[in-house]
Structure 1
């Protein structure tokens, strides 16, 4: 089963170069046997639509939690500690735009006790604040953990395809824990307490490789964006009966906030 939705190995190295200005749009490719990609079945976002979106040089996404912190997935980083190797690109839909803003990391905090099974969140501290861009608040209760969600990212638009130059977006419906853990879907692999499933039984719309760590979000009671999930894993990309699986942000909200405070964010 294809678990994580990050780019690995040589592809990640290529993406690091691409983020510096040579990223190409994806072209169709044969389906990889183990391969999530990006927002499949989506459309191109407009400039400024999701100002909190972050592209990370290791082949993942993220969201601005604060001007100095990016919330992403634990499986996108190697551990907690000083880290100056990550470049965050923000402020643009087009990764080749001359208007893009970049920041280097200086520290990574990975979820305590992370072992590859749940607890899939991490914070990346930036070397200097990002100003003039909206951040994305996290859900602190389960009030918004159902309904219809928005997903966005720069990963591939087809399973096994290349990464995207332009940010893409789509909407996906909530899938209950009971349904997602049924024999026709993930057969008990979902950690019901702290993972959320979202997608269509028929497939066709999903996050995928290159989207790991990016946010799943929706409107709150005040019609403002609020983050409810972090792109984590899935079986393939937009396959029938294989919805995307996301870290349930509300379950970890207090721990995330505490960690952010300790990092000065």
Structure 2
């Protein structure tokens, strides 16, 4: 949970929820679904079925046309911005390459959520960001703007900016794409470390990368023809150790 945010997220569910992009067929249609919690959840579906949209609805970034989205039995769709803010602070969402602020450095982009929300003292925020920069060996890019750094580092910075708040819920859309193998293993190891420390309790991510997903114990949900389904996963599935 993000510091100084007393909210604890225990449950997330849809009731009769429908979402469609304007002028298009509904990607989620009158769906009832209670999401697995305290798990790493692999969101699967064929291209165009709505995996990214589902993650953005869960993040509060897209509003459905009808139905209910409950967190802790509270319909968050009825909340004002101020009422939803404690939930937003407990949810991390990873944008793709375009998610960074172009006129800010890598360091500034990583600092931004901590400095803006003032959830921890500034010296602690700086220390946390400096530790992340050191762990991922991106110090030489720390004071460069996104346009002047490799795509791998841009993607990594997008991912780490969602993790720097140490949220309870982490939503990631194809996180492994463009990272490179060494960076990917460091990233997965960092997620495991944060989970052991009590952060990132509920992770939902889409991915076509089975090798990457094999680095986690996960549950699977499918989105297909507007509905969401839970797939049983063998509990003795072996995780590849880093």
Given the two structures, how large is their TM-score scaled by the length of structure 1? 0.25
Given the two structures, how large is their TM-score scaled by the length of structure 2? 0.26
Structure label with greater radius of gyration: 2
Structure with a larger share of its residues in strand: 1
